[in-house]
Structure 1
Amino acid sequence: MTAMTPTLAFWSDDEPLECVSFLPETPNVVTFTFQAPSGALFRYKPGQFLTLELPVAGGPLHRTYTISSAPSRPTSLTITVKAQEGSLGTRWMLDNLRPGMRLKAIGPGGHFSHLNHPSPKYLFISAGSGITPMMSMTTAMYDAGRDPDIVFVNCARRPSEIIFRERLEHMASRITGIELAWVVEQTDRYHPWTGYRGQFNQLMLGLVAPDYLEREVFCCGPEPFMTAVREALAGLGFDMDRYHQESFNAPVGETGEVPDDVTLDEEARAQVEFLTSGAVVDCAETETLLGAARSAGLVIPSGCTFGVCGTCKVRKTEGTVHMVHNGGITEDEIAEGYVLACCSNPIGKVAIEA
């Protein structure tokens, strides 16, 4: 008899994630490791993200986080989070999320992955917790067993705040092709620092990656940081078609813009029918589907609220909407009738499955 090969089961967001461990990385930064209670494996592209539903006081809160692990290690999945001043969801995770707890997750999603932009050479530039997708992509290439060609630049306030420093230095010590460059604003007391210091600029770019014009560039970090990187590259004649960035902050100068051929009338009325709940909401055309849902007391999961993460994706069964998104939905999904509730305005009568 021929032995049958067992069928591998892969996790989907119909199943919750179970926290199995947590590891403090740097001040206010923790890596949480999750597994599927069923034992299913994880399948995603390095650099993609998940949206977690966090049971904070006052109702569930949805927050989007990049996966910091790599799909080459599919038995678990890690999320590395940094609590910023005034953060609610991430602070809840640091204070309350412990092994044995389960969370609902939505995803994975996103197009920020080196697999979508194959190249013999990469330049990864990040700041702070923006290092997480770069860690995922670098780990995946390291696990592949071939020597990659990565120049990995990370900027932090001080050396003690560089996330994943030891793990990245270990990988770089085991193979050729991972060149690390740390840039800090200030040093730690009693710890000599021999790396770069100051703000990342064109001079540093030329020093860490003299062949930057030949590389595919991925950038992630605070919006002002990414703006500075974009301007530095553009000023040096870089082909910006080979520049890619990830951000869960509102894109400067893009969010809320309406094309010249579309005019939303504040006086025009629309009606949104929510088929699952049976609610019907009258609203202005300038209101979004997400806003209409909230006015009716309905909860549509949402993360970024400006069309990047795709968390608020719902299926439209009737009517017309005007949608201005920032990459959180694919053309195939749009063809199937899906829209993003956070950035879709109803025109006339609209029905959605929510």
Structure 2
Amino acid sequence: MENRAAVEIITSRDVPLGGPRAMTVKRTLPQRQRSLIGAWCFCDHYGPDDVSVTGGMDVAPHPHMGLQTVSWLFEGQIMHNDAAGYHAVVRPGEANFMTAGHGISHSETSTQSTTRLHGVQLWVALPDSVRDGERRFENYVPEPVTFDGGQVLVFMGELLGSTSPITCFTPLVGAEIRLDAGARLTLDVAESFEHGLLLDAGDVLLEGVPVERTQLAYTGVGETLLTIENTGQTEARMLLIGGEPFEESLVMWWNFVGRTHEEIERAREEWQTHSGRFGTVEGYIGHHQDGPSWLPAPKMPHTPIRPRINPAPVARPEMRID
């Protein structure tokens, strides 16, 4: 259709998360097809899971560096404990942000009261100017912004007149959008941003292009309006993420975001030897008595880890890597 923004579909892949009894998540970022959207460099979508069957989330203490984690739930609760001394219950409609800086470790477990677990875990790459900074933890409960046909919860950046107070180290936006059956929403978006729309539930068109559940629909820079339509008979729910293209070269491996192979290798060694860099997590209680008390790092690859090459911030409708 004329004047529609081009849309590139990124299909999720199944990935185990955690230790020996890992839960399965749907990962859309990073992929060979596209590694980043703005500074968003990681996107895992999971659930709804019946935790009485799956065991829920039980991720023992593990390290991070050079990134900011963003946790967003639709159902259930997760207990977060980190080496900076923050202990928080992650609840639906609340955004939790952990800035790793030079290094931090944390654990994540679904709570005993949780029967269904359903949410999204996101990472943001930190720019070089702040990536070796201090650890921090922030929590924000956004107020719903209602419009004719739905509502938006803006947890990062600005959208529909709502602004999140959470620290953004590069220009970003993150929001949950709920759209009533048959409703249509046209968003004013920043022309300098690229965007991704992750569908959680419902039947949705982005710029006239169908988006399936767990897919991430990508639009490039240069757009000022994006139109989302709910063509189904029930409410649709999705996350919109976006930001200015991240121009710095990134080396990503396991839970680390760095700039060189040697930097990643050094961080792995410091985690394996229990150096003070990542601190110590207090309060972790796993779901299984015989489970690990921490997650050891995988072995390094035999060849040097190379920086991820992200394509130009232009949607390629014909591109599809399953």
State the TM-score, normalized to the length of structure 2: 0.25
Q: Counting strand residues as a fraction of each chain, which structure ranks higher? A: 2
State the TM-score, normalized to the length of structure 1: 0.23
Higher relative contact order (CA 8 A, sep 6+): 2
Larger radius of gyration: 1
